[in-house]
Structures are given as structure tokens and as C-alpha cells.
Amino acid sequence: MDLIYYVAASLDGCVATPDGGVDWLDEFNGGDDDYGYSEFLGSVDVLLMGSLTWRRALELGDWAWGDKPCIVFTRQELESDIPNLIVESRSPRVVVEELARSGHQRAWLVGGGRLAAALLQEDLLTDLIISSMPVLLGAGIPLAHALGEVRSLSLEDTRCYSNGVVQSHYRVD
């Protein structure tokens, strides 16, 4: 199973402001190009995210991912009327292996710098598709929080957009 971290990040490597805000992305939304998002979303069959990303997604309004199964990793109780929401406290390795056995082909790590680091450390993340936004936040939640090791990546593809966004697809070595 492919597990892809498809994410927007500032040029200084942050996926959100220190308080989890993503308002800085607003200026890049609503144009003629969606940076391949619609095509990517159509290619995945399950979503994974940390609880902070889940809470932030709820604050943004309507649930953006329809009825795709969504697994939220947390040890806390979560209540929601989101269809196909699965709250998971087991290790990411156990959950990802179970997803693969049940026939899932492509999973999207929607967010969570801590979860991204955990998945990388467990050799579970297969790809990173990073849209580098021409913004410097100065501080914030890092792309892979406290990874603690060097990881090599192989560049698969790069797309440049007229507004300065550069999207790079890396395969995890």
C-alpha cells in the first residue's frame, strides 16, 4: 500500500503556524489551478490524520473529504458525526498493516507533523508530495516534527506554478 504525505508547507518547512493556523494558505486557494489536488484526492481510498489536524479540519467548516474512510490517531475520546470516521489508539504500524491487508491501495496522510515523523521512523511513509508555498512563517509546526534522523528521498517529479508554488513528489528511500 502506498502511504503519501500530500501537504503544503512554507519555504521554512512549516505546515501551520504555532497555533495550528493555516490561514496563510488562503491566498493560494480559489485560482484556476488546484495543484493536482482533485486528481490526488480521487486516487486515495483512505485518509489518515492526527487529532490536531482533525480538529483544525472541523474548524474550517464543511468536511472536505466526503465519505472516504478517515482514521484519526489519538488516545482521546472523539465525538463526531463525520461519516466513516475511525478513532485509532493503536500504533500506526498496526493500523497501516491492517489497512493494506484489507485491500486499501493508497492512503493519504492529511496532516500531523508528529504523525508524519512517526510514519517515517517506522518506514511506513512511501511518498511525500510537498507544495512549497512562497511564504516564510518564521515559526510553526514543522513538516516532520522531531524526526530525529536523516532520511533520504528520491525526486520523482516537480511542477512549478505561475504564482511561485513549487510542488515536488519524492519517494522515500
Complete domains list, the chain, with CATH: 2-172 (3.40.430.10)
Q: What is the pTM of this model?
A: 0.94
Three-state secondary structure of 19-73: CCCCHHHHHHCCCCCCCCHHHHHHHCCEEEEEHHHHHHHHHCCCCCCCCCCEEEE
| Cα–Cα distance measured from residue 95 to residue 80, given in angstroms and rounded to the nearest whole number | 20
Q: What is the pLDDT at residue 50?
A: 93
| Cα–Cα distance measured from residue 7 to residue 9, given in angstroms and rounded to the nearest whole number | 6
What does the pLDDT look like over 109-163, one tens digit per residue? 998 889 999 999 999 999 999 999 999 999 999 999 888 788 899 999 999 999 9
| Cα–Cα distance measured from residue 80 to residue 17, given in angstroms and rounded to the nearest whole number | 25
The single-letter DSSP state of residue 164 is S
What does the pLDDT look like over 62-118, one tens digit per residue? 888 989 999 999 998 888 888 899 999 999 999 999 999 999 999 999 988 899 999
